[in-house]
Chain A
C-alpha cells in the first residue's frame, strides 16, 4: 500500500497463538440411564475456557446440531471397492446437503452471565429461553418436555497423552517454536510411528529434558527435518521406546461447556424408528461489523420465551457470525484431516473422502509397521515393512488397496456390555465412523464409542485400534477396540514404558448424575 498505510501493519507475525473460545474440544453423546418419562440423550459440547471457566466470551455463538434417523441395516452382501465407498459418501452427501434438516440448540452468553438458549426446528417447534450459567437447571419445552441444562465451566473431560500423539505424527509445533511462515514445518516428513525411530532426535524422548513437548518448546533447528534411519530404536534390554507415556496432558484443566439431557421424543417425532441421534457442534464468532451494531437480543423472546420463532429470523442471526470450528468425531480433524482449518467442515466432510483414503494410508505406513513390531497383527497392508515408512499418495486409487481392510473391517467391541438389549446391531466400521463427521448415538446401546461417545471412553487409544486386525486374537480373544487399553498387553510387549498409550481414566471422577462432567478445578 502506498505511503505507510498497509492494512496489516500492526499485527505481529509472532503472535502467540492464543487459546480461543472458538476452539471446540470434544463432543460427548450417550443415552441417559434415566429413562423415567421416556428415553433421553445426553449431549455435551466442550470448548476452551476463555476468558475463564464459567465465564463465556460474549462474541461467540455455539450450535449443537442434531437429527434423529433410523439405524442403517447393512445389506447381506457388500461391495468393498473404492467406487462403492465413494458412492456411499455421495449418498451421504445428498442426504446431509439435501432435504435433511437438523434441529439445533443455539447458545450465546451475555456479559452478565445470562445464557440465551434457542431451540430451533425441533418437531415441537422453536423457542428461546434465557437461563443462568453455571447452574444445573431444567428447561421446560412448549410441548411439555423437560430438558436438563448446564452451561458453564467444568473439568476437562478429555484425558489423553496429547504430546504422545503429536510425537507419533512428528508434529513439530508441539515441540518447537515453528515460524509462522513455515507451513511445511508442521507434520515433518518423518514416518508416523508408535515406536521411536532410531536416531530421530527431532522427536525422540530426551530423559534429560522430560518436560520437552509437555509445555516446553525448543527453537527449531535448521533443516532438513527428515529421518534417514532404517530401524526402530531399542534400548539395552532390547525394548522399543513407546512414543506414548500414558500421561494425562489435560489433567487439572478446565473447559466451558453446554450440556443437555434431552428427551428423545423432543428430538424426533418417531422414537421407535429413529434410534440414532446424529449430533455435531459448531462455534461461530461475531463479525466485526456486528460488534458495533446495537441490536437488542430479541426482547420479544425474553417476554414470551415460548413463542415460536420464525426460522428466517434465525438465519438472519447466523449471518452476523462466522463459522470457526466444528466437532463431531474425535480425531476426525486432528488425525484424519491434518488439522487444516479449511477442513473444519463438520458433518459436511464428504468431499474429503478421497483425501480420507489417502490420509489413512499415510498413517497406516507409519502405525502399521509399529504394530507389527510389537508382535500384533495390523489391518494395514505394509508389505511386512520392518520399520515405519513416510509415504504419501496423490491418488486414492493407489492408496485404497492398502487401507481396504482398515476401512471395512468391523470394530470389535471388548464385550457385549455396549449392547445391553442384545439387539442385532452391526458393529461399526471406520468409514462409517468418520464420514460424516458426526457423533452417531445409538439409543439402543450404552453410547460407548463408536456408538456415541461416553465420558469414560478412552477414544484416543480406541482411534489407534482401527489399525489393528480385528480378525486376529490376543490371549484367545479377538482383537477389539480396547485392546491397546489393556495393561496386560503392554506388560508382555517389548516396549518401554509398559503403559497403555493414554491414561485409562479422567483425573477427576465423573459424576453419576447430570451434568456428569466433574466440577471445575
Chain B
C-alpha cells in the first residue's frame, strides 16, 4: 500500500504529466502554464529538492509571459525566492504587484524577510497582522517559530498548538509538519521522549515522509544511539539524496570514527553546494560555512562563506555562524564581538549559547562565557553531544 507521501507525489507527477482527469483539460494555455509552475514548486518542496526550485521559477517566468494577470505567479516566485534565501527577489516579486504586500500571504512573506534580516519585532508584528487578517495555521506556525527563537519553548509550543487546532483531517501533511516543530522544541529542552511522541504522531498522520524520518534519525542521534542513527540516516539519504542530509550522515560517520565512509559523503555535499553557488545560488552559503568550520576543517573558507551569507541576511544565525568560523580560524576577538552581536538580538537558542560560551572563554571574556554556559545549560542543551540541524 503506498504511503501518504508516495500518493501525494504520484498525484503531483500525474498532474505534471498532464494525466489529470480533473478540470485541467479545459484550461487555457496560460492557466495550464500557471498550474505547471505551481506543480513543479509543489514537487520540489515536497521532495526537498532545492535545485528543482530553479525549474519552478523558470516555469513561473514562462507563465507570466502568457498571462495578463500574473499576481499569483509573482507570489509563487516570491515564495521560491524565500526558500532560496534571495531576499531581495522576494521584495522585488512582491513589488511587481503592490497589492500582494497587503494579502495575508504577502504579509507573511515580508515578515519572513524581516526575520531573516534580523528585524525580529517587525517580523512578529507582520505575522500578527497576517493572523489578524486571516487566522491561518501557517501564519500561527511562523509566529511560533519567532517565539521559539526569541521567547521560550513554552510560548512557541502554545502557538504551535493553536496552529495545530486550525488543521483538519484534510491537512494531515501540515499537521505532521507542526508535530515535527513541536518535537524539535522538545529536543532543545531535553525532553526527548516528548519529542519522540510528537514524531510518532507525525509519522502516523502522514506516512512515508522523509522529513519525519530525518527528525527521528536526529532524535536517535541525540539519544547517543549512533549505530541506529546512522542506519536511519542511511535510509533517508537513499530515498532523498539531498546534499545537506549527506553532510549530516557524513558527520555522523566521522563522529563514529568511520572517516573512510564520511569523506565521500562530505565531498559530495561540498560538491553539490559549490555547484549550486556556481549556478548563482546563495541558499547553501550557511551549509558551506558549517561544512568548512566543521568536518572539512577549513576555517578560512568557512569565514569566507559566512561573511557572504551575512551580507545577504544579518541575523543571529548568520552572525553566530560567522563567529564560530572566526573562532575556528583563531580570530578570538572578532569571533567574540560577532557572537555578542548575535546574542544582543535576544535569541534564546541553547546550541548558540553553547558556542558562545566556548568563543567568549577563548577570547578571555570569562564572565560572558560563564553566563552563556549557564544559558546553554539552563536550556537543557546537551552540549558535547551530536547536534543536527534540521534543514
Give residues in A with beta carbon < 8 Å to B.
1-14, 16, 20, 59, 177, 179-184, 215-216, 218-222, 285-292, 322
C-alpha gap A219/B45 in the complex (Å): 27
Is B272's CB within 8 Å of the partner chain A?
no
Is B172's CB within 8 Å of the partner chain A?
yes
Residue contact A177 to B145, C-beta cutoff 8 Å: no
Q: Which residues of B contact A222 (CB under 8 A)?
A: 68-69
Is B156's CB within 8 Å of the partner chain A?
no
Residue contact B75 to A13, C-beta cutoff 8 Å: yes
Residue contact A4 to B50, C-beta cutoff 8 Å: yes
For residue A294, which residue of chain B has the nearest CB?
A: B204
Q: Which residues B17-70 have CB closer than 8 A to chain A?
A: 22-24, 26-28, 30-31, 34-35, 38-39, 41-42, 45-46, 48, 50, 67-69
Q: Which residues of A contact B50 (CB under 8 A)?
A: 4
**Residue from B31, B100, B137, B201 in contact with A219 in the complex, judged by beta carbons closer than 8 Å:** B31
C-alpha gap A216/B145 in the complex (Å): 43
Q: Which residues of A contact B168 (CB under 8 A)?
A: 59, 285-288, 322
Which of B173-181, B187-195, B260-268 lies at the binding interface? B173-181
**Residue from A7, A219, A291 in contact with B142 in the complex, judged by beta carbons closer than 8 Å:** A7
Name 15 interchain pairs, CB-CB below 8 A, sorted by A.
Answer: A1-B145, A3-B391, A4-B283, A6-B138, A13-B38, A181-B97, A181-B106, A219-B28, A219-B31, A219-B69, A288-B167, A288-B171, A289-B165, A290-B169, A292-B201
Q: Which residues of B contact A59 (CB under 8 A)?
A: 168-170
> Nearest chain B CB to A43's CB is how many angstroms away?
26
**Residue from A3, A13, A218, A288 in contact with B105 in the complex, judged by beta carbons closer than 8 Å:** A13
For residue A21, which residue of chain B has the nearest CB?
A: B170
For residue B109, which residue of chain A has the nearest CB?
A: A6
Q: Which residues of A contact B22 (CB under 8 A)?
A: 16
For residue B203, which residue of chain A has the nearest CB?
A: A292
For residue A8, which residue of chain B has the nearest CB?
A: B138
For residue A220, which residue of chain B has the nearest CB?
A: B69
Residue contact B76 to A177, C-beta cutoff 8 Å: no
Residue contact B68 to A181, C-beta cutoff 8 Å: no
Is B152's CB within 8 Å of the partner chain A?
no
Interface size on B, residues (CB 8 A): 68
In the complex where A285-B169, A292-B201 touch, is A10 in contact with B105 (Cβ < 8 A)? no
Q: Which residues B101-122 have CB closer than 8 A to chain A?
A: 103, 105-106, 112, 115-116
Q: Which residues of A contact B286 (CB under 8 A)?
A: 3
Q: Which residues of A contact B137 (CB under 8 A)?
A: 7
Residue contact B164 to A6, C-beta cutoff 8 Å: no
Give residues in B with beta carbon < 8 Å to A.
22-24, 26-28, 30-31, 34-35, 38-39, 41-42, 45-46, 48, 50, 67-69, 71-72, 75-76, 79, 82-83, 97, 99-100, 103, 105-106, 112, 115-116, 136-138, 141-142, 145, 163-175, 177-178, 181, 201, 204-205, 283, 286, 317, 389-391
> Nearest chain A CB to B53's CB is how many angstroms away?
10
For residue A60, which residue of chain B has the nearest CB?
A: B169
Q: Which residues of B contact A220 (CB under 8 A)?
A: 68-69
Q: Which residues of B contact A221 (CB under 8 A)?
A: 68-69
In the complex where A177-B28, A180-B72, A182-B71 touch, is A291 in contact with B174 (Cβ < 8 A)? no
Q: Which residues of B contact A292 (CB under 8 A)?
A: 172, 201, 204-205
Q: Which residues of A contact B165 (CB under 8 A)?
A: 287, 289
For residue B136, which residue of chain A has the nearest CB?
A: A8
Instruction: Apart from A12-B42, A179-B72, A181-B99, list 11 A-B contacts with CB within 8 A.
Output: A7-B141, A13-B105, A14-B38, A59-B169, A181-B75, A182-B69, A215-B26, A222-B69, A287-B168, A288-B172, A289-B167
> Nearest chain A CB to B338's CB is how many angstroms away?
18
In the complex where A4-B50, A4-B83, A181-B103 touch, is A13 in contact with B169 (Cβ < 8 A)? no
Across the A-B interface, give the 9 residue pairs with the lowest CB-CB distance, nearest first.
A288-B175, A288-B167, A8-B138, A59-B169, A14-B38, A286-B169, A9-B45, A7-B141, A7-B138
Q: Which residues of B contact A183 (CB under 8 A)?
A: 103
Q: Which residues of B contact A285 (CB under 8 A)?
A: 168-170
Residue contact B205 to A219, C-beta cutoff 8 Å: no
Q: Which residues of A contact B201 (CB under 8 A)?
A: 292
> Nearest chain B CB to A182's CB is how many angstroms away?
6
Q: Which residues of B contact A179 (CB under 8 A)?
A: 69, 71-72
